[in-house]
Structure 1
């Protein structure tokens, strides 16, 4: 087995941290037990490009228990945990990733991961799927899974342009992922990343959130909970109206820029905060991105504009702008909850990764009946994941009695 990681000697420490995460992932533990008994992936090869965290390792162990041969690379150069990579390699999983790797190394690792000629690909951001489609003649892939909003947008564009070669399940769009991972997980890890990078006080600060999708909702909620005054910017009228009714001020970015102390992008769109915004920001404004790619804050434009640059803390770069004002970019403009923190808590990723694991089994059973398009997670998988989580929490649900079931399927009963 080949691999390219930082230091295999970190394996024991990595496994200890993985074991801690696994304690908080009871749904995935049940799925792993099922896979270990049934071996649904025996003889199948799976290539994955994911954030290499302790929680991701728990997912990969479940797939490995089901018989899969696995190869893994990073989906973000700053989200890789080197000790987790070592633990995975020690367990027989080929890993090609190192924290902070440069772009050529990142691209080489994508190619090394695809060298196993996978039957299925698991992606977070669609870099692996895009790389695969740039390789002529690769036809071993039967299906794929995409985990995040940005990646789903890319894969849907491929499907719309009729270049997608195989069916892809959009795990991001299923309720047990979107409502919890995006809102509660991203909400918490974004704030965590900002605090670790800066140690600033949020109480009393003006906190600008670009985008009020599920991630933006979670970030705004957590920032307000820590005492910040939150402003939201949006391009969608319905989401803007929702933000207002949730109690937030809504302003276009050019009006929010002079007011904000801390800015977070969560849109999936490029160039959300740009040169004209930097020029009107307060001295000391902090910039962070919670979207998948480092494109939402125009870092190239910021560097062109700056007259000086300094690395003040591990995940914080100071840019001196004209007129002796300074702004601070966190995590190189990359996903701040992964770059400076530890990603979403294990209890949240338990849901998302159970969706991924069960969708993987579904695809390998159903791919022959699926066209090369983007599909939702089957509702029965989503509902089962939610039910397993509630059972693990010791929560019971009401059930409908016979009269209620009859009413549900009747039309005669009404006002008269």
Structure 2
């Protein structure tokens, strides 16, 4: 039958295709069974022989937030590790065995941990987010998606014109340098990648990252510590609006009282007390976004000087009122210099603005030209 011949040919091709696929799958299954036959995942590659080298690199998918109060930061990463396990060499129809997370528990993997990590999460939705591949020469690629919450020690003397180098430190928990060493897979410049869209921080700019390695000696041996420093520079916009501009306006408002008649005691008293209370409130609110450090920050110094100017304005009025009262009770003629506008007010109208302007000039020049970025620890 003419019409049945194409159908018959198609059926035969499909059967051959299915048969070849079954043979291919059987070969892969045999390879896996052979690799795991007699494999002891309790022993590292080359146990008792050469050192196992674990090459690492990190891809940051999301960086932040950074907490000043807790001195910590959070990021989401793909953490990749590569090493060679001679026991897993194979020959077959495929160059790379791309396996799921079920294979991970059957193979030896490095006992890497984050030394300055507070809380680390390995993602398991919808399945464990792990990538596992075996090359023909025994090279293993093991990738995990992690959310890491790590410590970031901060020196806040220059706050809020400060910068910080937040470290991420990791290494082997149990294996000393005589058994496992870590290296950066792509060298010092490319082993840690942070795309621009991954670092949208509210209070900081991520200006770069540097990598290094060091050795740590302890009672149990000498270990390799891998370190990444994420360099952060604080944005000033929020603090200008929230603290600096209100403080400057409060000091200016306090100086308005110098232009009010010295006889208007209630008005000048209200000016003085109100501005002092305002500065007290600003000082308290400015500290809410900071940990309770025992030293003064750059913002603390600015607020303290502003408070001194405001308080001095109140003291100035007290002096004017005191001398005015003395004048009224004395026999000095009414056209004395202390009548009308006080000479103290006249000098204060000039000295206070000039002094406050000079302080601001020095303050901003010092801190805006100062290299406040901390060196990597």
What's the TM-score once normalised by structure 1's chain length? Answer: 0.19
Which structure has the larger Rg over C-alpha atoms?
A: 2
| Larger fraction in helix | 1
